[in-house]
């Protein structure tokens, strides 16, 4: 594979491949499906090589934060997704990775999403006599069904990180106000809560009556009436369909 002219992009490719290998070691350990490293790298590398001008901003940010961290994650967005790669920009002040306190990190990161690009060009009917036929692939690789890797590079701006200010009681006020405005959701919530309570009561009653039946088996005459009441309750529950 030819080295990229841009050193920053080449360094990124090297670190990315390292990370893909590490991910595959991890997948081997967990006995899950491994990533096809050249497949994933192919289109990105081709694009880096053909259109370095499109990556000016990316190159400049990687240069400013050379201690960036690459993390491989399961694909979140696309149905055809392979992996998402999170690139956290960071620069350690003294170049020492052990001093986590002294670092610079911008309010943005990068993400590359990799997906399958299926090309339904036609069922392969290649034969060994055809030009460019590859014995190992059993195909000449021109115009047959094929799968490639597509990607999209995102720059992600972090606008704000915040949480609830106040205690739980304040939060409950917010919750109440919300349900005041959305009666439909409030009704749904109340109905679900009532159903849950009924189910719980039903369970408790049937457990209690079973216990009662066990205890009263020695004194059948004394508590027959009580047992009858429980049975009636259960029958009622069944009748209203819960
Ligand atoms: Zn995406
Ligand atoms: Zn073919």
Cα of 135 vs centre of ligand 2, distance in Å, is: 11
Cα of 138 vs centre of ligand 2, distance in Å, is: 7
ipTM of the predicted structure? 0.69
Ligand with smallest separation from the Cα of 126: 2
Ligand with smallest separation from the Cα of 84: 1
Domain ranges of the chain: 7-120+146-157, 168-239
DSSP letters for the chain: -PPPSSHHHHHHHHHHHHHHHHHHHHHHHTT-PPP-HHHHHHHHHHHHHH-GGGGHHHHHHHHHSBT-EEEEEE--S-TTEEEEEEEE-BEETTS-TT-TTSEE--SEEEEEEEEEEEE--------TTSTT-BTTTTB--SSS-EEEEEEEEEEEE--------S-HHHHHHHHHHHHHH-HHHHHHHHHHHHHHHHHHHHHHHHHHHHHHHHHHTSSTTTTHHHHHHHHHHHHHHHHTT-
Low-confidence winner among 82-86, 225-229, 235-239 (lowest mean pLDDT): 225-229
Residues 164-211: tens digit of each pLDDT: 999 999 999 999 999 999 999 999 999 999 999 999 999 999 999 888
Cα of 20 vs centre of ligand 2, distance in Å, is: 29
Q: What angle is formed at CA 38 by the lines to CA 26 and CA 41, rounded to 5 degrees?
A: 95
Looking up tokens 């050249």 gives 38
Cα of 8 vs centre of ligand 1, distance in Å, is: 23
Compute the average pLDDT of residues 90-104.
Answer: 74
Whole-number CA gyration radius for the chain: 32
Ligand with smallest separation from the Cα of 140: 2
Ligand with smallest separation from the Cα of 86: 1
- Residue from 107, 64, 110 nearest 88 by CA: 110
pLDDT above 90 (res 56): yes
Cα–Cα distance, 189 to 204 (Å, whole number): 23
| φ and ψ at residue 46, rounded to 5 degrees | -60, -40
Cα of 90 vs centre of ligand 1, distance in Å, is: 21
Cα–Cα distance, 36 to 19 (Å, whole number): 13
- CB 41: neighbour CB atoms within 10 A? 20
Cα of 49 vs centre of ligand 1, distance in Å, is: 22
Residues 132-149: tens digit of each pLDDT: 999 999 999 999 999 999
Cα of 111 vs centre of ligand 1, distance in Å, is: 7
- CB 113: neighbour CB atoms within 10 A? 19
Q: Provide the terminal-to-terminal Cα distance of the chain, rounded to the nearest Å.
A: 67
Task: Provide the pLDDT confidence category of residue 239 given band limits of 50, 70 and 90.
Answer: confident
Cα of 101 vs centre of ligand 1, distance in Å, is: 31
Cα of 73 vs centre of ligand 1, distance in Å, is: 12
Cα of 155 vs centre of ligand 1, distance in Å, is: 10
Cα of 165 vs centre of ligand 2, distance in Å, is: 63
Ligand with smallest separation from the Cα of 141: 2
Distance of CA 156 to the CA centre of its chain: 17
């Amino acid at each position: 594979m030819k080295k990229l002219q841009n050193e920053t992009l080449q360094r990124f490719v090297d670190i990315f491949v390292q990370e893909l290998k590490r991910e595959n070691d991890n997948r081997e350990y967990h006995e899950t499906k491994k990533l096809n490293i050249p497949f994933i790298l192919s289109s990105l590398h081709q694009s880096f090589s053909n259109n370095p001008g499109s990556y000016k901003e990316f190159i400049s940010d990687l240069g400013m934060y050379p201690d960036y961290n690459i993390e491989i994650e399961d694909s979140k967005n696309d149905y055809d997704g392979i992996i998402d790669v999170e690139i956290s920009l960071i620069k350690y002040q003294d170049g020492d990775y052990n001093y986590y306190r002294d670092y610079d990190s911008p309010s943005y990161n990068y993400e590359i999403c990799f997906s399958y690009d299926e090309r339904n060009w036609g069922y392969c009917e290649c034969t060994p006599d055809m030009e460019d036929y590859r014995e190992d692939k059993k195909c000449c690789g021109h115009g047959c069904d094929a799968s490639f890797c597509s990607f999209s590079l995102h720059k992600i701006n972090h606008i704000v990180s915040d949480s609830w200010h106040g205690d739980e009681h304040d939060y409950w006020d917010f919750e109440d106000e919300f349900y005041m405005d959305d009666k439909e959701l409030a009704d749904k919530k109340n109905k679900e809560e009532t159903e849950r309570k009924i189910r719980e009561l039903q369970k408790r009653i049937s457990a209690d009556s079973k216990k009662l039946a066990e205890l009263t088996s020695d004194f059948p005459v004394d508590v027959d009436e009580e047992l009858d009441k429980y049975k009636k309750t259960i029958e009622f529950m069944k009748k209203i369909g819960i």
